[in-house]
């Protein structure tokens, strides 16, 4: 009977851990996507000062969530996302407008991949 | 490298914890679901050790999930015979009074060689010596010999087993008394201590102490480490 109780406790812990992971990943990816959307708006109106601030904020957010994210997803994915965010800084000018949009799309794809890895069954 | 070693140690202790939690059933002859969970657990444990980029939760969570499901399933099977049959199947009779049930053998995909090998493992070389042979759900073969082929027991000779023929059980191992065995033999801890005083042997010096219900005992003292 003690083992059965232990099994129930472990199962309850795993469910709680999964729910925590679900909420954490969903919140993080939602915030990142929202931030990237705002960044895209700034780039489209060519407000590179605001865009630079937004990139910095996104990087800080990503760094803050690093420990939490790497509990639930592969470190490779996190690193890919981080490198994409860092790379955005280099394209904040009129000269690299198209490249910036491409990099933004790539970063959004990285966030989606992170989301997929955690939530996808297939 | 240190991280790899740490992950290995962590997973190692998690697996030990998992096997302890699942209990003796898992270590003995395995039912199908138990075999599956043992194989899965060993594979899952290696994932995290081989791939440092995968979070440790990637191994620990599935292992703990399988352990808890296995325990709950086995508890449910203990309560419900129907569920146990569904998961593990039924024991099947393959030999009755020396006659092989060939339909059953075909159903089980047991060849004649498999049957003979299993019988030889039970020290049976004559099919006619078999009263009943049953293939259990874990794949092992249980055999009941016909009375004439069975070994003679004291009951057959109408003899009572003398008290001093009862086995001597270990009541103390490495200075630690085994209260359960003491109770089984109808002895108390105080009687044990009295015995050690009579032998002039403190508990720390005891390697093994065997005793039976008749009060016969055998004391094995610890030996001092001999320098070479």
How, if at all, do strands B92-96 and B99-100 pair?
Answer: antiparallel
pLDDT of residue B152: 76
Kindly state whether residue B63 falls inside one of the protein's structural domains.
yes
Q: Which residue of B has its CA nearest to A18?
A: B61
> What is the side-by-side strand order in the sheet with B169-173?
B176-177, B169-173, B206-211, B217-221
Check: CB of residue B34 under 8 Å from CB of residue B73.
no
Structure tokens at B9: 């140690």
Kindly state whether residue B157 falls inside one of the protein's structural domains.
no
Kindly state whether residue B228 falls inside one of the protein's structural domains.
no
Best B41, B54, B63, B68 residue to mutate vs chain A (most A CBs within 10 Å): B68
Q: How far is B76 from chain A (nearest CA, A)?
A: 10
Helical H segments across chain B, by residue range: 2-22, 24-27, 32-50, 57-79, 81-88, 102-108, 112-121, 179-184, 189-198
B195 and B138 both lie in a single domain: no
Distance, in Å, from the CA atom of A110 to the CA atom of A84, rounded to the nearest integer, reads 8
Q: What is the mean pLDDT of residues A11-26?
A: 90
What b/e readout covers B198-209, taking b as 16+ CB neighbours within 10 angstroms?
eeeeeeeebeeb
Q: How does residue A34 score in pLDDT terms, banded at 50, 70 and 90?
A: very high
Helix (H), strand (E) at residue A111: helix A97-119
Q: How many CB pairs under 8 A join A and B?
A: 47
- DSSP per-residue string spanning A15-54: HHHHHHHHHHHHHHHHHHHHHHHHHHHHHHTT-HHHHHHH
**Yes or no, beta carbons of A71 and B57 under 8 Å apart:** yes
Q: How far is A1 from chain B (nearest CA, A)?
A: 8
- C-alpha angle with apex B213: B208 to B216, nearest 5 degrees? 55
**Yes or no, beta carbons of B55 and A71 under 8 Å apart:** yes
The helix-helix angle for B57-79 and A2-44 (nearest 10°) equals 140
Distance, in Å, from the CA atom of A81 to the CA atom of B117, rounded to the nearest integer, reads 60
Helix (H), strand (E) at residue B143: strand B141-145
Q: Which residue of B has its CA nearest to A71?
A: B55
Q: Which residue of A has its CA nearest to B48?
A: A74
Residue the block writes with tokens 């309560």: B79
B65 and B48 both lie in a single domain: yes
Kindly state whether residue B55 falls inside one of the protein's structural domains.
yes
Q: What is the mean pLDDT of residues A82-89?
A: 89
Domain that residue B193 falls in: 163-221
* Number of other CB atoms surrounding residue B65 within 10 Å: 16
Compare CB distances from A17 to B55, B61, B72 and report the shortest one's residue: B61
Q: How far is A36 from chain B (nearest CA, A)?
A: 26
pLDDT of residue A116: 81
Kindly state whether residue B154 falls inside one of the protein's structural domains.
no
Q: How far is B137 from chain A (nearest CA, A)?
A: 23
The two most distant CA atoms of chain A are separated, in Å, by 70
**Yes or no, beta carbons of A76 and B53 under 8 Å apart:** yes
**How does pLDDT run along chain B (228 residues), one tens digit per residue?**
667 777 878 887 788 777 777 765 555 667 777 778 888 888 888 887 888 778 888 888 888 888 888 889 888 988 888 888 888 888 889 999 999 999 998 888 888 998 999 999 999 999 999 999 999 888 889 999 988 777 777 677 777 666 556 678 899 998 889 888 888 888 888 989 999 999 999 988 999 999 888 888 999 998 876 655
Structure tokens at A58: 């996104």
Question: Among B66, B86, B106, where does a domain finish?
Answer: B86
Q: Which residue of A has its CA nearest to B58?
A: A72
**Yes or no, beta carbons of A4 and B72 under 8 Å apart:** yes
DSSP state letter for B223: P
Architecture of domain A22-119: Up-down Bundle (1.20)
What's the length of chain B? 228
Total domains in the fold of chain B: 3
* Number of other CB atoms surrounding residue A10 within 10 Å: 19
Q: What is the pTM of this model?
A: 0.70
Using a CB-CB distance cutoff of 8 angstroms, which residues of chain A are in contact with residue B54? 74
- C-alpha angle with apex A70: A64 to A71, nearest 5 degrees? 110
Measured CB to CB, residues of chain B less than 8 Å from chain A are: 21-23, 53-55, 57, 61, 64-65, 67-69, 71-72, 75
B117 and B190 both lie in a single domain: no
B108 and B35 both lie in a single domain: no
pLDDT of residue B162: 62
Q: How far is B140 from chain A (nearest CA, A)?
A: 27
Distance, in Å, from the CA atom of B126 to the CA atom of B97, rounded to the nearest integer, reads 12
């Amino acid at each position: 009977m003690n083992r059965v109780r232990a099994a129930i406790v472990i199962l309850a812990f795993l469910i709680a851990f999964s729910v925590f992971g679900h909420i954490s990943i969903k919140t993080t990816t939602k915030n990142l996507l929202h931030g990237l959307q705002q960044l895209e708006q700034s780039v489209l109106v060519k407000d590179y000062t605001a865009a630079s601030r937004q990139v910095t904020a996104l990087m800080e957010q990503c760094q803050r969530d690093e420990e939490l994210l790497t509990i639930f997803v592969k470190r490779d994915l996190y690193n890919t996302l981080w490198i994409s965010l860092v790379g955005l800084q280099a394209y904040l000018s009129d000269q690299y407008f198209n490249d910036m949009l491409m990099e933004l799309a790539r970063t959004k794809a990285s966030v989606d991949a992170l989301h997929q890895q955690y939530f996808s069954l297939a | 490298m240190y991280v790899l070693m740490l992950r290995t140690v962590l997973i190692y202790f998690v697996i030990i914890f998992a096997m302890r939690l699942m209990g003796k059933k898992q270590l003995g002859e395995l039912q199908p679901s138990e075999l599956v969970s043992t194989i899965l657990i060993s594979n899952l444990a290696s994932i995290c050790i081989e791939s440092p980029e995968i979070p440790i939760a990637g191994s620990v969570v599935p292992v703990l999930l399988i352990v808890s499901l296995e325990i709950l399933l086995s508890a449910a099977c203990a309560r419900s015979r129907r569920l146990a049959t569904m998961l593990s199947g039924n024991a099947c009779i393959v030999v009755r009074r020396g006659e092989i049930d060939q339909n059953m053998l075909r159903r089980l995909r047991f060849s004649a060689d498999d049957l003979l090998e299993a019988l030889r493992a039970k020290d049976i070389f004559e099919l006619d010596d078999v009263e009943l042979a049953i293939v259990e759900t874990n794949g092992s073969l249980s055999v009941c010999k016909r009375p004439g082929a069975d070994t003679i027991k004291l009951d057959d000779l109408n003899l009572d087993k003398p008290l001093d023929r009862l086995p001597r059980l270990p009541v103390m191992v490495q200075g630690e008394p085994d209260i359960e065995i003491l109770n089984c033999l109808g002895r108390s801890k105080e009687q044990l201590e009295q015995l050690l005083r009579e032998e002039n042997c403190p508990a720390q010096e005891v390697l093994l102490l065997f005793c039976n219900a008749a009060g016969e005992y055998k004391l094995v003292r610890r030996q001092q480490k001999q320098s070479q």
